[in-house]
A = this chain, B = another copy of it.
Amino acid sequence: MTRAADRVAAVTGYRFSDESLLELALTHRSAGSRRHNERLEFLGDALLNFLVADRLYALRTNDDEGDLSRLRASLVRGVTLAEIAAEHDLGAWLNLGAGELRSGGHRRRSTLADALEALLGAIYLDGGLEPARAVVERLFAERLAALPDATSLKDPKTRLQEWLQARGHPLPHYELIGTSGEEHAQQFTVRCRLERPPVACTGEGSGRRRAEQAAALAVLEVLEAPGG
């Protein structure tokens, strides 16, 4: 474990007192051990959600709770965690079963994301909240510094509604105008129509709500077009 411990210390700035916690965090269910990292992942997921919420609360004093939720979701979703784990080559230090290893498990997004959460949970158990907070700050530093404008994370229907409300215009009408395809692979087509300004666009999607979002996005693109 010492090489993994050295590597984790180099990446996180944290050195474990109890290396068995580190080993547990890096042990995937496929390794066949009775003990693996899924309980630590449960703890680490909750810890990460809280630490990111705390950071965003302090950082984004003008954002409402919906904006804060969306910003947090963009930071802690699986694909972001997997990216961070991959940037630091965490996959190379995982204990995986032979079959999982052959099928590329050490590069699998969900495995990497789960291991990163488990590692944070292990650091908290080993050292307490403040060391875990310092590691989160370090691993998420670039992404916290480059957080998007909260508005751009809203879904198109919400953005369109807010655009209209800010101008005192009526809300949009959504109308299902068609479906196509087999029962299990249906495509929906929805029209989004405004009374003021008079704009209407259609959108398609694999569900009615997705089609509505696509239609709202098309309308927003008309409204926000230069000179539009």
Query: Shortest Cβ distance from A38 into chain B, in angstroms?
Result: 4
Cβ-defined contact, A57 with B69, below 8 A: no
* This protein's copies in its complex: 2
Query: Shortest Cβ distance from A24 into chain B, in angstroms?
Result: 12
Assess whether A182 is interfacial by the CB under 8 Å rule.
no
Cβ-defined contact, B41 with A50, below 8 A: no
Task: A57 to B120: give the CA distance in the assembly, Å.
Answer: 14
Assess whether A64 is interfacial by the CB under 8 Å rule.
yes
Number of interface residues of A (CB under 8 A): 23
| Chain B residues within 8 Å of A38, by CB | 64-65
Q: Return the CB mask of A26-48 against B: 1 if under 8 Å, else 0.
A: 00000000000011011101110
Task: A131 to B31: give the CA distance in the assembly, Å.
Answer: 39
Within 53-103 of A, Cβ neighbours of B (below 8 Å) are at 53-54, 57, 63-65, 68-69, 72
Within 175-199 of A, Cβ neighbours of B (below 8 Å) are at none
| Chain B residues within 8 Å of A65, by CB | 38-39, 41-42
* A-B residue pairs in contact (CB < 8 Å), sample of 14: A38-B65, A39-B57, A39-B63, A42-B53, A43-B53, A43-B54, A45-B53, A46-B50, A46-B52, A46-B54, A47-B50, A47-B54, A49-B49, A50-B50
Instruction: Name A's B-contacting residues (CB within 8 A).
Output: 38-39, 41-43, 45-47, 49-50, 52-54, 57, 63-65, 68-69, 72, 121, 124, 129
